[in-house]
């Protein structure tokens, strides 16, 4: 360790913290922490290890410093972010691009030196009067070839507490790896805060990703999606690492779905926020392995996967006892849970769509709240924010998959892509092959913007593979990596497209909220060769008799042929329009599009045109069976 680093560290740390840090033999790590101290100027620095005492200390400090408040149920706390700090902020989240380098024009970016100068000036002195917390975590299981060591320096004990719930502790892994620890780093400060400990200088909020140094900078924000560096911020860095090393980092859940004879089939799914991702990962009776970020590696011809995380930072809106029993159980019994931006009344949390009566007053993300309250623009303020969240460790859930921390991962048999598509794609369909699935379902994923991202809601957009916002390499290269990855697999998973948001001509949803379980059960049977399918121009769809049986077995409902026909009729013109929009997006916004993408699009267009000549614009499943 450099003498200058030793001097700075000793000045700010007590003997215990200095001993914990210097037990890690990594000069680059010491230099990063020294730099964070010199920039942010904390009064003191506390280093956390993996000990039970340190884990408990960070939780207690979050409450003591009033970043969180205890609720009635033991272990439950509430944290509030400011009114303008309620989601991932695209506008101020930027990649720092070195001179001579380039990223896709669709990605928010600025020149590296200019960006570093700006954000480091905003961070300068931001921790005066506070403690800097140094956390060592892992993306992926402990002692695994999949995993990436990470360090975060923050002045928020709430952020530190969230790390405890959402990721594996990594101090011992850092000690074991020493100089070999090729780590990612985050420097975060809440900036100026008010009496509620919420960031107040939202006009100076910045989240910058310096991908050339594997470092994230975040300032003047507390919302976990902007501050927990291991979340989507690290995903941007990990995608670059995966690109260099020949594996995939994906914005996907992992779930174990039970089939006949006691078998379990592992599935992954990519869904943009508020499109059914967590509810699909949490289907009753199945197991959850991951709800957000998965790493894929080809091992002996198999697709092996792990969860980069070990907890859930989930949207709480519409979580109810009826529809989400496993989550509801955790949210209503003793155990460690952080609620954020819900309504609190008499020590109890309330949220939108919970299926219970909501108090007429209480405290929420704006402060004291009452029914009918309006903001300065005259808009009524809801009792809780639509993007209110809960943070909980996965192993607190009764349906947590036992393979969560397997360092070798699990073998994946199914990949699904799903968005909000009101007019074109059917509720579930299987691709013709790997390339068709990656392109026609993944690279063509179309959705609508939701409340999880700051900005207008309900705006149609392409969200390529549900990862577009996080790709720090050319988008075309990312698609190509996915296509080429399939060539490494002798046991390729089947790829499916799902769409829970198909509507009829009157705008009525054609899917029930819980129908997704039927589609997933059909995938499980299909990938194991138990059911046939009908070939359509856009993929293979289920046969009516198979769905009728699954609806009865899973939902105890009678599934009518009329419902089947409405859901699985191929709408030719809507699909052609979709192909036009998606192809235009790739022409206009995706750098270096692989030729295979346009080949797949054109083949699908020709199949649709040929089918229309024979069957007309609305092609029923029965017509295709003949």
State the pLDDT at residue 2: 76
Largest CA distance in the chain: 81
Catalytic residue among 40, 150, 153, 275: 275
CA atoms of 601 and 583, how far apart (whole Å): 7
**Residue pointed to by tokens 């235009």:** 584
Pick from 94, 83, 234: nearest CA to 150: 234
Residue 206's DSSP bridge partners are 219
Contact 243, 217 (CB under 8 A): no
Contact 601, 550 (CB under 8 A): no
Buried b (16+ CB within 10 A) or exposed e, 405-417: bbeebbebbbbbb
CA atoms of 575 and 597, how far apart (whole Å): 16
Alpha-carbon dihedral sign for residues 92, 98, 99, 103? negative
* Helix 27-40, helix 112-123: angle, nearest 10: 60
State the pLDDT at residue 457: 56
Residue 287's DSSP bridge partners are 256
CA atoms of 506 and 592, how far apart (whole Å): 40
Q: CA angle 591-594-597, nearest 5°?
A: 110
Q: What is the DSSP string of 62-90?
A: HHHTTSSEE-SSTTEEEE---TT-SSB-G
Residue 383 a catalytic site member: no
Contact 103, 589 (CB under 8 A): no
**Cα 362 versus chain centre, distance:** 30
CATH code that applies to domain 249-309+409-625: 3.90.228.20
3-class SS at 33? Answer: helix
State the pLDDT at residue 452: 46
Buried b (16+ CB within 10 A) or exposed e, 248-285: bbbbbbbbbbeeeeeebbbbbbbbbbbbbbbbbbbbee
Domains in the chain: boundaries: 3-57+91-245, 249-309+409-625, 313-396
Find the helix or strand (DSSP H, E) in which 215 lies.
strand 215-219
CA atoms of 218 and 119, how far apart (whole Å): 8
Residue 96's DSSP bridge partners are 110
CA atoms of 326 and 409, how far apart (whole Å): 23
Contact 577, 424 (CB under 8 A): yes
CA atoms of 449 and 182, how far apart (whole Å): 35
CATH class of the region 313-396: mainly beta
Residue 345's DSSP bridge partners are 348
State the pLDDT at residue 594: 95
- 32 phi, psi to nearest 5 deg: -65, -45
Number of residues that this document lists for the chain? 626
State the pLDDT at residue 405: 97
Tens of pLDDT, residue by residue over 102-135, are 877 777 899 999 999 999 999 999 999 999 999 9
To the nearest 5 percent, what fractions of the chain are helix, strand and coil?
Answer: 35, 25, 40
Pick from 447, 410, 97: nearest CA to 240: 97
Q: CA angle 56-60-65, nearest 5°?
A: 150
Topology annotation, domain 3-57+91-245 = Phosphoenolpyruvate Carboxykinase; domain 1 (3.40.449)
pTM: 0.91
CA atoms of 85 and 190, how far apart (whole Å): 11
Q: What is the DSSP string of 555-615?
A: I--PPPHHHHHHHH-EEHHHHHHHHHHHHHHHHHH-TT--HHHHHHHHHHHHHHHHHHHHH
Residue 460's DSSP bridge partners are 448
- 510 phi, psi to nearest 5 deg: -90, -10
Tell me how crowded residue 121 is: count the other CB atoms within 10 A of its CB. Answer: 12
- 114 phi, psi to nearest 5 deg: -65, -45
Tell me how crowded residue 204 is: count the other CB atoms within 10 A of its CB. Answer: 17
Residue 186's DSSP bridge partners are 152, 216
Tell me how crowded residue 459 is: count the other CB atoms within 10 A of its CB. Answer: 10
Low-confidence ranges of the chain (pLDDT < 70): 1, 449-459
CA gyration radius for the chain? 24
Beta strands (DSSP E) in 10-80 are 44-47, 69-70, 76-79
Sequence-separated (6 or more) residues with CB below 8 Å from residue 10: 18
H-only helix segments in 167-205: 171-177
Contact 545, 516 (CB under 8 A): no
**Cα 479 versus chain centre, distance:** 19
């Amino acid at each position: 360790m450099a003498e200058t680093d030793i001097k700075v560290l000793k000045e700010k740390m007590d003997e215990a913290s200095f001993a914990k840090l210097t037990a890690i033999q990594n000069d680059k790590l010491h230099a990063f922490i020294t730099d964070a101290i010199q920039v942010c100027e904390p009064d003191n620095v506390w280093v956390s290890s993996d000990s039970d005492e340190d884990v408990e200390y960070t939780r207690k400090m979050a409450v003591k410093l009033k970043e969180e408040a205890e609720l009635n149920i033991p272990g439950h706390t509430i944290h509030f972010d400011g009114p303008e700090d309620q989601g991932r902020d695209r506008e101020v989240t930027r990649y720092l691009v070195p001179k001579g380098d380039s990223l896709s024009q669709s990605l928010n970016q600025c020149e590296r030196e200019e960006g570093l100068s700006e954000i480091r000036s905003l961070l300068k002195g931001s921790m005066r009067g506070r403690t800097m917390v140094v956390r060592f975590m892992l993306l992926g299981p402990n002692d695994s070839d999949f995993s990436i060591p990470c360090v975060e320096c923050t002045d928020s004990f709430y952020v530190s507490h969230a790390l405890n719930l959402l990721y594996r502790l990594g101090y011992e892994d850092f000690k074991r790896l020493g100089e070999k620890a090729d780590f990612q780093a985050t420097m975060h400060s809440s900036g100026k805060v008010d009496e509620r400990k919420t960031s107040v200088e939202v006009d100076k909020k910045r989240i910058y990703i310096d991908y050339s140094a594997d470092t994230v900078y975040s300032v003047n924000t507390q919302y976990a999606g902007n501050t927990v560096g291991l979340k989507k911020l690290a995903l941007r860095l990990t995608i670059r690492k995966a690109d260099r090393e020949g594996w995939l980092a994906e914005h996907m859940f992992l779930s174990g779905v039970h089939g006949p004879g006691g078998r379990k089939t592992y599935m992954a799914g990519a869904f943009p926020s508020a499109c059914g991702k967590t509810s699909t990962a949490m289907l009753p009776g199945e197991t959850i392995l991951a709800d957000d970020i998965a790493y894929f590696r080809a091992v002996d011809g198999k697709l092996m996967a792990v969860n980069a995380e070990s907890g859930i930072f989930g949207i709480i809106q519409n979580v109810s006892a009826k529809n989400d029993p496993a989550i509801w159980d955790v949210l209503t019994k003793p155990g460690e849970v952080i609620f954020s931006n819900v309504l609190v009344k008499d020590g109890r949390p309330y949220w939108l769509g919970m299926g219970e009566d909501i108090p007429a007053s209480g405290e929420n993300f704006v402060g004291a709240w009452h029914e009918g309250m309006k903001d300065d623009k005259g808009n009524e303020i809801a009792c809780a924010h639509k993007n209110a969240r809960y943070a909980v460790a996965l192993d607190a859930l009764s349906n947590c998959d036992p393979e969560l921390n397997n360092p070798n991962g699990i073998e994946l048999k199914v990949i699904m892509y799903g968005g909000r598509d009101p007019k074109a794609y059917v509720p579930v369909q299987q691709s013709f092959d790997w390339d068709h699935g990656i392109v026609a379902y993944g690279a063509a994923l179309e959705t609508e913007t939701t409340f999880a991202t700051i900005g207008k809601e309900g705006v149609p957009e392409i969200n390529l593979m549900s990862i577009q916002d996080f790709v720090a390499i050319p988008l075309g290269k990312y698609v190509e990596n996915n296509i080429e990855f399939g060539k490494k697999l002798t046991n390729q998973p089947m790829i499916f497209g799902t769409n829970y948001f198909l509507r009829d001509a009157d705008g009525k949803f054609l899917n029930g909220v819980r129908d997704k379980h039927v589609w997933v059960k059909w995938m499980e049977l299909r990938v194991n060769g138990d059911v046939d399918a009908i070939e359509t121009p856009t993929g293979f769809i289920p046969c009516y008799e198979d769905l009728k049986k699954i609806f009865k077995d899973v939902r105890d409902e009678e599934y009518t042929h009329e419902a089947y026909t409405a859901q699985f009729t191929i709408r030719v013109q809507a699909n052609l329009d979709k192909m036009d929009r998606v192809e235009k997006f790739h022409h206009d916004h995706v750098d270096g599009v692989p030729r295979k993408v346009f080949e797949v699009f054109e083949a699908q267009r020709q199949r649709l045109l040929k089918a229309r000549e024979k069957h007309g614009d609305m092609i029923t499943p029965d017509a295709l069976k003949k």
